[in-house]
Structure 1
Amino acid sequence: MTLAAFPPALFQSFEEKADPANVAPRLAALRHAMAKAGVDAFLVPRADAHRGESVPPGDARLAYLTGFTGSAGFAIVGPDNAGLFVDSRYTLQAPTQTDTALVSVRAWGQGGYGTELADFVPKGGTLAYDPWLHTPGEVRNLTRQLADHCKVVPHANLVDTVWADRPGAPVSAIEFLGHNRAGQTAGDKISAIQTSLRSDKADAAVLTLPESICWLLNMRGRDVPNTPFVLGFAIVPQTGQPTLYLDPARITDELTTALAGVAKIASTASFTSDLAALGAVDKAVLIDPASVPQAIATTLTEAGARLIEKADPVLLPKARKNEAELAGMREAHMLDGVALAKFLAWFDANAPQGELTEIGIVTALEAFRRQEESCVDASFDTISGAGPNGAIVHYRVTTKTDRTLKPGELMLLDSGAQYLSGTTDITRTLSTGSSTPEQRDRFTRVLKGMIAISTARFPQGTSGAQLDVLARQFLWQDGVTYSHGTGHGVGAYLGVHEGPIGISSRYPTPLEEGNVLSNEPGYYKAGEYGIRIENLITVRASTDFPDYLEFETLTLAPIDTRLIEPALLSPAERNWLNAYHQRVYDEIGPKLDGPVRSWLKAATAAL
């Protein structure tokens, strides 16, 4: 089957979204607006008011201004210079997308704002920010860091004033999950959250994260790419029904009927006045200082409300997947495993010919996934990195960067899908011919780290931050490492990146039964190749030791054994890999026919 036989991709576009030539006139327009407003510098984050990894087109202000399309970062624009701050995933990507003659690209650790922002604001000047795009925690950090240098003030968004053709708010269809998919009624979820509010002595909680609101109301939508979110706000009182605030264009009789007896619906136009009403009657209101916009905190405090700053009360219950959600995730990974087996068999047959392109590989993989009707989207833009592009951790292929995969190069493919039953995320590094001793060494050390996480047994109360070293130890032994986290939380037909749990130093929250995470150590040699191996795993009770936890692997796809240096594997690691591959064949093989099943049999053969 040649590349020409596959239908065009629907879930991902390959257009070059960034044009550095746009940066100069847009910076000039923003500086004109800044001068008119009497501010010396303006802060432009990647985030929208809902803190989503995917944002609607009209909220992609950072991309509009700087050209940078990554999922994390911010810009600061001063009167004479501008800075673009990105984390380690984007240090190679960002300079190619912006005008580096006008924008200085700098490293950012996502740990808050630093004093280096003073480089862009005149001493004694004013730095303005949009209070709907920054949290109270961020504002406090920003103010503290720059206290001796400049004033930090809220202001209406100045990028919006110069963005003439800014897209409007999204309005997508809204669906509600049945009990077989949600496993718990919205009423029961609301009651549990209200119980936690009573424990916190809070009269109400304000929810702004779409994953929290969607999970709480068993609701899904299509407001942003790749993630089935409905964008809105909610106020959950200690007693009575929550109020869901949406764009008036989407408040229909059908929606009102669907939420009857569960939640009230109101226009977002009344949201701030309802917040102020809470303050007027001296209510104690819970807000999450890490996700709620500063504008909400300001409205509440100015109206007289007492703020209780605490984590979003939905985060932990949502992260503990119930049996129905876990069953859906297992089904999604089984369906994904079938599609991946078909794709990998096709890839193996065609890659040695030297005619596959990065875009063609994405298109083919999507086509195999779309053979399953319940696959409704990709869970993120596929990372399809051939040879040196595999070393760009969050590489996004475009028509401009599309590269032909040469025989003998490593192929890094990180992809995922949204099935109606659940969310998947998988990375495989693939052989296309001969490999070097160094590549096999690095691949095997990455695999050993992935196996170490997969087989970990740990006492209750252990966090992902404590487990992270297990994945890195074999690379550390040879003086190398990787700069991204080892794992992130994953939603159940929600966001492919979901807090508050994960496996890295940034995740101190203890792991619990039902958590679903990625397990994805890697190694990257700039300009040459990248290696990453990723499975999704879920936390379960240990079968052997009371009060201990362990992981169950959800992903069902072969790991390329041609890239393994067998001498580096211990007997226990070899046994784990053989058992995993046998499970993949046992569960996926019967759903395949002919040549693909034969290919899978060979790909999962014991070492």
Structure 2
Amino acid sequence: MSHDMSKDQDRLYKLTNFTGSNGLAIVFQNRKPIFMTDNRYKLQSQQEINPDEFEIMDPSLSTEISEILTENKSSDQPYASVYIDGSLFPLSFTERIKKQLLKSGIKFEINIKEPLVDQVLQQHPDNQANQSNQPKIHGFELKNPGLTFEEKRMLALNHQISKKMGLDSIYVSSPEEVSWFLNMRATGINEYSPIINGFMVISKNHKTYLFVDKQSKQALEQTRLRLEGDIIEICDLGQFKDRITNLGLESIGIDRRSCSSGAYEVLNQSGIKSIKFFEESAALISFYAKLNAKLNADEKIHEHDCPQILDEIRQQLAGSSYLSNSFPMICGSGGNGAIIHYRAQDNHSRLLNKDESVLIDTGAQYIQGTTDTTRTLLFSNKKSSKYDNIREMYTRVLLGNLSLEKTQIPKGTYGYQIESIGRRHLWEVEKDFSHGIGHGVSHCGPVHEYPHYAYGKDKNSALALQENMIITNEPGYYLENQYGIRIENMLLIEKCENNHEFLKFKSLTLVPYSKNLIDMQLLDQSHKFWIKGYYSQILHEIEPILKRNNKLEALDYLHKETKEFI
């Protein structure tokens, strides 16, 4: 239903012990099962998955799933079949795989009602992990989402695709879009995304039917927020198949990528005006300042200590508008930073060391929106030659980040078309990184937003970059067992003032870069001027918040980090 879920719902984790957000397991009858992921999780999968139990495919080989299934069909089997849970994969995926397998004589079976994997994993210890949470529904005032449910419903039904196909109903398949339509969010259901788990069918001439899981239904029934009078009927998720066949709908649209025929592509302008992440930027600066002070005082801090330190600061600065993390913090010290989506474990995480870099990728859920920021930091100001390599590579990553943010693009440009801008300074020294340079970010929802996943390389699974989208800009570089570098800002896409056929980027992240890692000799005057303007904005917006909250340590850190450019 969603790419974010608690451990009791995470089938892949329970089957393989893999905690990343993208993976696939193929279980055979007569051979070792196969695990597949992408390059971001190559090292992580090797650490978390037992190689005696799973064959871990090399993600750099880009092997097609259908090829693996065909190759592993036994020669003594004239017929073979593949079983898949149809509720977990988009229609475009299942149709493509089915077509390829049928050519090889392999039957493709789709099951929704009773997935086999759920029967196998019934006794897993994490099945009770999320039952103590108390779900709560949060409703948005009109000024935040900008449109009412009824306005959004008509927007979807009157979309050009809906009209062209003559649709009178639309199946909304993703929980984040259901939450967006309803102008509601929910905490205590998913671990990191404050969304309602369910599907929805909206129509012109009938009620809207909302199919939700047990926790979401409980939260909706307890809330005092109205669901648009009698327009919406709440149903059990298990009733979906029976109810959908008896609604008397003439035609229903299903988006092969996601749903809702484009209504969810971008926030409207009134929603964007409410999105400011000043408290998050202030919290991050305060957090980095605290790490700097503690490490330079020789206090011990483990990687796994950092999420709690930052959470306390977020709660202090944002109060009730801070809901939760938007994903597990990535805090990788030294060589752990080279594991792109590293997750520190309580029982064996490394101590942070002021003399080695630390990569911290973190995000939060606020009523105002969702954040995602990465900084690579070095808390030692030594000028030793041992830092020459990491300073050069950090500065090249920074140049890629700045170059992309400064870029103006014509309307209709896709994210993959601007990837090279963020990589050019690494390519100059024959270096690169193995993940995309950015992704879409939702409004108080999944930190990786669909359907537009802005930097997708396939036009069938991505949308062109558009005004009011929020995306990330996160080039990096990773030297295995030594260090990892990533610099990530969230960007708002705006129209250019002088030519509305062109778009530009505005940073929503207001956090200084690491002074101790910048090689000033690699920056030209235009780069220094851009950073000066960025730092001036940070001081203008964030300094008053730090003063108001008496964050003297953070103020001192901010001034020291920015003074070379101001």
Do they superpose with TM above 0.5? yes
Secondary structure in structure 2 of the residue aligned to 1:159:
helix
Residue 92 (structure 1) aligns with: 43
When structure 1 is superposed on structure 2, of 483-492 and 242-251 the one drifting more is 242-251
Q: Does residue 105 in structure 1 map to residue 51 in structure 2?
A: no
Trace 1:232-381 onto structure 2 (pairs within 5 A).
232-247=198-213, 249-250=217-218, 252=221, 254=223, 257-277=226-246, 283-291=250-258, 312-313=259-260, 316-330=262-276, 333-352=277-296, 353=298, 355-371=300-316, 372-373=318-319, 374-381=321-328
State the alpha-carbon separation in 2 of the partners of residues 574 and 262 from structure 1: 56
Q: Does residue 416 in structure 1 map to residue 363 in structure 2?
A: yes
Q: Are the structure 2 counterparts of residues 269 and 344 from structure 1 closer, same or farther at C-alpha, using a change threshold of 3 Å?
A: closer
Deviations 1:357-391 (A, max 9, x none): 10122221222112121211001000000000000
1:219 CA drift (Å):
1.3
Deviations 1:435-461 (A, max 9, x none): 621111111111111111111111111
State the alpha-carbon separation in 1 of the partners of residues 526 and 309 from structure 2: 36
Q: Is the 8 A contact 2:334 2:358 kept in 1?
A: yes
State the alpha-carbon separation in 1 of the partners of residues 453 and 400 from structure 2: 19
Residue 190 (structure 2) aligns with: 224
1:537 CA drift (Å):
0.5
1:104 CA drift (Å):
0.5
Deviations 1:559-583 (A, max 9, x none): 1122111121122111111110111
Letter in 2 for 1:187: E
Residue 123 (structure 2) aligns with: 165
State the alpha-carbon separation in 2 of the partners of residues 265 and 536 from structure 1: 36
**What's the Cα RMSD here?**
2.3
1:238 CA drift (Å):
3.1
Question: TM-score under structure 1 normalisation?
Answer: 0.83
Q: Are the structure 2 counterparts of residues 254 and 399 from structure 1 closer, same or farther at C-alpha, using a change threshold of 3 Å?
A: closer
Residue 134 (structure 1) aligns with: 89
State the alpha-carbon separation in 2 of the partners of residues 144 and 193 from structure 1: 30
Deviations 1:162-200 (A, max 9, x none): 223353797822232111221211111111111122343
Residue 5 (structure 1) aligns with: none
State the alpha-carbon separation in 1 of the partners of residues 410 and 117 from structure 2: 49
When structure 1 is superposed on structure 2, of 405-414 and 431-440 the one drifting more is 431-440
Q: Is the 8 A contact 2:286 2:553 kept in 1?
A: no
State the alpha-carbon separation in 2 of the partners of residues 59 and 213 from structure 1: 19
Deviations 1:253-290 (A, max 9, x none): 75684331542322334321232235x66x22211223
Secondary structure in structure 2 of the residue aligned to 1:102:
coil
Trace 1:205-604 onto structure 2 (pairs within 5 A).
205-222=170-187, 223-247=189-213, 249-250=217-218, 252=221, 254=223, 257-277=226-246, 283-291=250-258, 312-313=259-260, 316-330=262-276, 333-352=277-296, 353=298, 355-371=300-316, 372-373=318-319, 374-433=321-380, 434=382, 436-499=387-450, 500-506=452-458, 508-593=462-547, 594-604=552-562
Out of 160, 168, 187, the residue aligned to residue 150 of structure 2 is: 187
Letter in 2 for 1:355: K
Secondary structure in structure 2 of the residue aligned to 1:513:
coil
State the alpha-carbon separation in 1 of the partners of residues 234 and 309 from structure 2: 42
Deviations 1:312-344 (A, max 9, x none): 226x443422234323321xx101111112112
When structure 1 is superposed on structure 2, of 157-166 and 226-235 the one drifting more is 157-166
State the alpha-carbon separation in 2 of the partners of residues 358 and 602 from structure 1: 24
1:354 CA drift (Å):
6.3
Out of 140, 152, 161, the residue aligned to residue 177 of structure 1 is: 140
State the alpha-carbon separation in 2 of the partners of residues 583 and 254 from structure 1: 40
Q: Is the 8 A contact 1:431 1:560 kept in 2?
A: yes
Residue 115 (structure 1) aligns with: 67
Letter in 1 for 2:58: A
State the alpha-carbon separation in 1 of the partners of residues 501 and 63 from structure 2: 33
State the alpha-carbon separation in 2 of the partners of residues 135 and 503 from structure 1: 19
Residue 16 (structure 2) aligns with: 66
Residue 29 (structure 1) aligns with: none
Q: Are the structure 2 counterparts of residues 592 and 174 from structure 1 closer, same or farther at C-alpha, using a change threshold of 3 Å?
A: closer
Q: Is the 8 A contact 1:174 1:221 kept in 2?
A: yes
1:462 CA drift (Å):
1.1
State the alpha-carbon separation in 1 of the partners of residues 86 and 456 from structure 2: 30
Letter in 1 for 2:168: D
Secondary structure in structure 1 of the residue aligned to 2:136:
coil
Letter in 1 for 2:208: P
Secondary structure in structure 2 of the residue aligned to 1:180:
coil
Residue 6 (structure 1) aligns with: none
State the alpha-carbon separation in 2 of the partners of residues 259 and 245 from structure 1: 16
Deviations 1:28-49 (A, max 9, x none): xxxxxxxxxxxxxxxxxxxxxx
Letter in 2 for 1:286: G
Question: TM-score under structure 2 normalisation?
Answer: 0.89
State the alpha-carbon separation in 2 of the partners of residues 254 and 426 from structure 1: 33
Out of 108, 111, 124, the residue aligned to residue 152 of structure 1 is: 108
State the alpha-carbon separation in 1 of the partners of residues 427 and 375 from structure 2: 22
Secondary structure in structure 1 of the residue aligned to 2:472:
strand
Letter in 2 for 1:246: V
State the alpha-carbon separation in 1 of the partners of residues 221 and 11 from structure 2: 30
Letter in 2 for 1:183: G
Q: Is the 8 A contact 1:205 1:285 kept in 2?
A: yes
Q: Is the 8 A contact 1:204 1:286 kept in 2?
A: yes
Secondary structure in structure 2 of the residue aligned to 1:57:
coil
State the alpha-carbon separation in 2 of the partners of residues 77 and 401 from structure 1: 31
Q: Are the structure 2 counterparts of residues 149 and 67 from structure 1 closer, same or farther at C-alpha, using a change threshold of 3 Å?
A: farther
Deviations 1:236-263 (A, max 9, x none): 1134442112246526275684331542
When structure 1 is superposed on structure 2, of 342-351 and 383-392 the one drifting more is 342-351
Residue 4 (structure 2) aligns with: 54
Taking every aligned residue pair, what percent have the same amino acid on both sides?
Answer: 28
Q: Is the 8 A contact 2:279 2:545 kept in 1?
A: no
Q: Are the structure 2 counterparts of residues 467 and 601 from structure 1 closer, same or farther at C-alpha, using a change threshold of 3 Å?
A: same
State the alpha-carbon separation in 1 of the partners of residues 69 and 515 from structure 2: 47
Q: Are the structure 2 counterparts of residues 107 and 59 from structure 1 closer, same or farther at C-alpha, using a change threshold of 3 Å?
A: farther
1:106 CA drift (Å):
0.7
Letter in 1 for 2:290: W
Q: Is the 8 A contact 1:487 1:504 kept in 2?
A: no
Deviations 1:3-30 (A, max 9, x none): xxxxxxxxxxxxxxxxxxxxxxxxxxxx
Structure 2's unaligned 5+ residue stretches are none
Letter in 2 for 1:260: G
